Structure 1
Amino acid sequence: MSQVAEAPSSGSSDSDAPADASTYDGLALRQLEKDFGAFRAVRSLDLDVPRGSFFALLGPSGCGKTTTLRMVAGLESPTSGTITLAGQDITYAKPYQRPVNTVFQSYALFPHLDIYENVAFGLRRRKKGDVDAQVREMLDLVELGSQVRKKPVQLSGGQQQRVALARALINRPEVLLLDEPLGALDLKLRRSMQIELKRIQDEVGLTFIHVTHDQEEAMTMADTVAVMNAGLIEQMGAPAELYENPRSTFVANFLGQSNLIDGTIKSRAADVVTVDMHGIDVSVRADRTHTQGDKGWIGIRPEKVLIGEEGESLDAPGNTVPGGVVTDVSFVGVSTQYLVRMPWGQELQVFSQNTGRHRLFEEGERVELSWRPEYAFLLDASQDASAGAQKIDSDG
């Protein structure tokens, strides 16, 4: 587990205290913990999910995100702490007593019932009226109005997922829980369903909580992403905020890729911090500096690094790093990805867009790198520079 510097362990923003759970109209978790024997899966979790938002819990296998979702659903009982929804304490309520529905990766459709009856099932069980109008409204919402009499086996994976969504949404839950709902789909279908899920959430205006290990999935759909690691929330915020200004090495590596270079802080001003990076002075904005010590990891995303010939004037004034040698070149269509060995022996990643403005470099060529100070960030040196870098494709 990485040590976290200045990374909030609650769902509130850095400046806001958690809301009063008894009057909060969204979902509020307070000091929530879950132990499995000697293993603590979720640790003192404080989290506010605003009503009507699309919220993602993102993290690797075993980080506690699925356990958290199961506690909200009532499928696991917390060891301690409370869960309130719209001011109502549901910590130990039975699953059927909660205004919550869950959509799983497996869909769990009834194979002997057609699509219409699958969606109508909950309404019929609760003896609700006006079933036909509600079922057809939901099937139109998920764009399956013409498939009503087909059986699940006759539908594609994406269509089955839409049926599962319609079956959950027809109950008008306060919160819809999505547990890796797109994990069984192929890449192209998964991407189209990401857009569909966000469209549906916008239309119905319900709270969606989406659990995933897929960073692209979370960042594409969610208004707010909470990155979990070892039972804690490392950082929470808008997707762009987490990506551009990570507060821990785990977040920097788990959301995309980062170059992390050790440096020593030389001076701190109100708006900028100057860091000695292996004999080269580089600048980092003060609001992107997340360490109080005199050493830190200078972080820069590969796509923010410019590459040029030795002595070339690059359009990134402020941080210029000479003496690089290209050690690997990978052409991937939209960009070319380079590894560049720096004078201190570290290889940095550079993703250069193939706009045609610059020639491609070859292995063995001497180059220099540059980046704008406002794109860099500075993290606590006590954190593991490789934390979060190993992503696992299965959830836990």
Structure 2
Amino acid sequence: MSQVAEVPSGLADAASYDGLALRALTKHFGSFYAVRELDLDVPRGSFFALLGPSGCGKTTTLRMVAGLETPSSGSIVLAGSDITYAKPYQRPVNTVFQNYALFPHLDIFENVAFGLRRRKKKNVDDEVRAMLDLVELGTQARKKPAQLSGGQQQRVALARALINRPEVLLLDEPLGALDLKLRRSMQIEIKRIQVEVGLTFIHVTHDQEEAMTMADTVAVMNAGVIEQMGAPAELYENPRSTFVANFLGQSNLIEGTVKSRAADLVTVGMHGIDVSIAADRAHANGDRGWIGIRPEKVLIGEEGEALDAPGNTIPGGVVTDVSFNGVSTQYLVQMPWGQELQVFSQNTGRVRIFRVGDKVELSWRPEYAFLLDASQDATAGAQRMDADG
């Protein structure tokens, strides 16, 4: 007899929800659990990203939604219909893969028309022309895939999937084969197309910049579960675990001891210096934690200089490494307790570029810091891997 999983608070009633609802979705291969008890609502018409390192379960989740992998347990409900065990072709879902999977012998027009012709639809030519205009390939209609660039081929693959008007479009590392500059322009292009067609896009990627650029909501996955989910800015500014803090960008994590908790402020002792953290950014329950601060939120100044960040000033730093990157300079600064902190300083010209060996002070505003539980591994998520998972 099948058991109905208890739905956590905040989740919709799957049967009446118009988006995609995953409930207690689990996939294991023998004793290895790729996805564990995943509960997730993807709102209709949203751009949703599953982000995580190799082996975190994001691609397995996508394949279960596509019908290419059968769940070990749990359910997949799309627009009120249970599709957990439906065949791939029975689902209102299309997938765009990294390798495009275009038909090399057909021209662009016929690649895009393929699905409609198979279903014997009328007005195929008009629909195909409209779709090619949407992806800005109207003038390339009679070329073969091999005559197009990688970015153009990716847009053909998008057009071919979108013309079927799927309830959900799945994007599996779609930009992985493109070079950096083209990838960035395609990120903006795919987001524009999603807004224009208004369909639900679920994008799987290991690239945190890609997820944050394109998605309305990002779910950070790790070891088969979701670590944290929310708007990109919310995840970046207020991470709730060391994994999220390190995987989304970079973070300085410094040991501290909680001294006092007020309604809106937590005071933490940090190697002899008291620092303040906003209470809604303090996610440590005990009396010890990791004080987190993003490198670009740290100000660097001359020894004894009054820096514009009232509340947290840390003297006694020595510059150990300098990397000039054009728009910014990245420093490593060794603190009196032996730890090296990262500082990213904008090259506005207002502050001189420091040299290795210079004595400096660091400072940051309390509202930019966060506090994470001391039981978590400070290096979790720092080693990003680029393969699928």
| Distance in 2 of aligned mates of 1:194 and 1:386 | 29
| Distance in 1 of aligned mates of 2:54 and 2:125 | 41
Total equivalences in the alignment: 384
| Distance in 1 of aligned mates of 2:64 and 2:39 | 13
Alignment of 1:295-334 (within 5 A): 295-334=288-327
Aligned match for 2:161, one of 158, 163, 168: 168
CA drift of 1:341 comes to: 0.3
Aligned match for 1:374, one of 348, 359, 367: 367
Name the residue aligned to 1:262: 255
CA drift of 1:199 comes to: 0.2
| Distance in 1 of aligned mates of 2:97 and 2:355 | 47
SS in 1 for 2:292: strand
Please state if 1:386 is matched with 2:379: yes
SS in 2 for 1:22: helix
Aligned residue type for 1:317: P
SS in 2 for 1:220: helix
Q: In the TM superposition, what whole-angstrom CA distance separates every residue of 1:327-377 from its partner, at most 9, and x where no partner exists?
A: 001101000000000000000000000000011111111111000000000
Q: In the TM superposition, what whole-angstrom CA distance separates every residue of 1:110-138 from its partner, at most 9, and x where no partner exists?
A: 00000000000000111111100000010
| Distance in 2 of aligned mates of 1:262 and 1:178 | 39
Aligned match for 2:281, one of 288, 291, 298: 288
Aligned residue type for 1:229: N
CA drift of 1:205 comes to: 0.1
CA drift of 1:11 comes to: 11
Aligned match for 1:129, one of 110, 117, 122: 122
Aligned residue type for 2:123: D
CA drift of 1:392 comes to: 1.1
Aligned match for 1:150, one of 143, 166, 177: 143
Name the residue aligned to 2:31: 38
Name the residue aligned to 1:112: 105
| Distance in 2 of aligned mates of 1:365 and 1:149 | 63
Query: Is the 2:227–2:244 Cα contact (8 Å) retained in structure 1?
Result: yes
Query: Is the 1:11–1:48 Cα contact (8 Å) retained in structure 2?
Result: no
Please state if 1:61 is matched with 2:54: yes
Name the residue aligned to 2:195: 202
SS in 2 for 1:56: strand
Query: Is the 2:7–2:23 Cα contact (8 Å) retained in structure 1?
Result: no
| Distance in 1 of aligned mates of 2:7 and 2:294 | 26
CA drift of 1:17 comes to: 1.7
Point out where structure 1 has 5 or more consecutive residues left out of the alignment: 1-9
| Distance in 2 of aligned mates of 1:345 and 1:128 | 69
| Distance in 2 of aligned mates of 1:367 and 1:154 | 56
| Distance in 1 of aligned mates of 2:85 and 2:278 | 46
Name the residue aligned to 1:222: 215
Aligned match for 1:26, one of 19, 27, 46: 19
Name the residue aligned to 2:185: 192
Aligned residue type for 1:130: N
| Distance in 2 of aligned mates of 1:32 and 1:244 | 29
Give the TM-score, by structure 2 length: 0.98
Name the residue aligned to 1:159: 152
SS in 1 for 2:115: helix
Point out where structure 2 has 5 or more consecutive residues left out of the alignment: 1-5
| Distance in 2 of aligned mates of 1:242 and 1:314 | 27
Aligned match for 1:95, one of 88, 101, 112: 88
Query: Is the 1:11–1:49 Cα contact (8 Å) retained in structure 2?
Result: no
Q: Please tell me the root mean square deviation across aligned C-alpha atoms, in Å.
A: 1.0
Q: In the TM superposition, what whole-angstrom CA distance separates every residue of 1:137-164 from its partner, at most 9, and x where no partner exists?
A: 1000000000000000000000000000
CA drift of 1:276 comes to: 0.3
TM superposition outliers: structure 1 runs of 4+ over 6 Å: none
| Distance in 1 of aligned mates of 2:143 and 2:209 | 32
CA drift of 1:395 comes to: 1.6
Query: Is the 1:285–1:377 Cα contact (8 Å) retained in structure 2?
Result: yes
Aligned residue type for 1:264: T
Name the residue aligned to 2:3: none
| Distance in 2 of aligned mates of 1:68 and 1:228 | 10
Query: Is the 1:27–1:86 Cα contact (8 Å) retained in structure 2?
Result: yes
SS in 2 for 1:226: strand
